[in-house]
């Protein structure tokens, strides 16, 4: 039987809170065949497209984004939680279920007109991804696609990003929270 990316992802019940089914991609990353399959499938829809940089969302997006950037022979841009980058940054805040969060990128990370692929492990509500898109666009670059390993469609992130005109690619979906 041929395995899919989804087969490598374990579910942890009641993490980080009761009632949550946490989709753990670390088991995917730990398996050489699964990880290679994942990276190849993340970049496949963008083969032949001009991509100047890959941007990864903290933290698992760094692992995936770095590997995708390597395969595309392009640079990697980390989008980090507030206060983690050493140079001058721009910030974008977004709402969480309870409260607010902020992500940042170096203010010289991208040049106007550059084409960027945004990568992360999981698409839930889309808040972090939308904040990352806004940062990229504020620097004058263009997001050519948003690639995720897991989409949780019940949380509406895909619809949110598509309403912004984004191309969204996910390797698998899990229903529910």
Q: Are residues 156 and 134 in contact, defined by beta-carbon separation less than 8 angstroms? A: no
Dist. CA 49–CA 25, nearest whole Å:
27
Stated length of the chain: 177
The strand pair at 10-13 and 21-24 is best described as: antiparallel
Encoded tokens for 5: 């990316």
Tokens for 137?
């666009």
Residue positions annotated with a catalytic role: 60, 97
Rounded to whole angstroms, the Cα distance separating 96 from 81 reads: 14
List residues bridging with 103 in a β-sheet.
81, 92
């Amino acid at each position: 039987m041929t395995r899919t990316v989804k087969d490598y992802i374990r579910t942890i019940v009641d993490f980080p809170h009761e009632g949550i089914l946490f989709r753990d991609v670390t088991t995917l990353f730990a398996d050489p065949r699964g990880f290679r399959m994942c990276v190849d499938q993340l970049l496949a829809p963008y083969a032949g497209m001009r991509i100047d940089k890959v941007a990864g969302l903290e933290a698992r997006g760094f692992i995936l984004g770095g590997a995708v950037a390597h395969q595309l022979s392009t640079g990697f841009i980390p989008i980090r939680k507030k206060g983690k980058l050493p140079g001058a940054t721009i910030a974008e805040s977004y709402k969480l279920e309870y409260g607010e969060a902020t992500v940042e990128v170096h203010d010289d990370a991208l040049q106007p007109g550059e084409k960027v692929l945004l990568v992360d492990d999981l698409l839930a509500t889309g808040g972090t991804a939308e904040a990352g898109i806004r940062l990229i666009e504020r620097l004058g670059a263009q997001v050519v696609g948003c690639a995720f390993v897991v989409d949780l469609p019940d949380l509406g992130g895909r619809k949110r990003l598509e309403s912004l005109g984004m191309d969204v690619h996910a390797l698998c979906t899990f229903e529910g929270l």
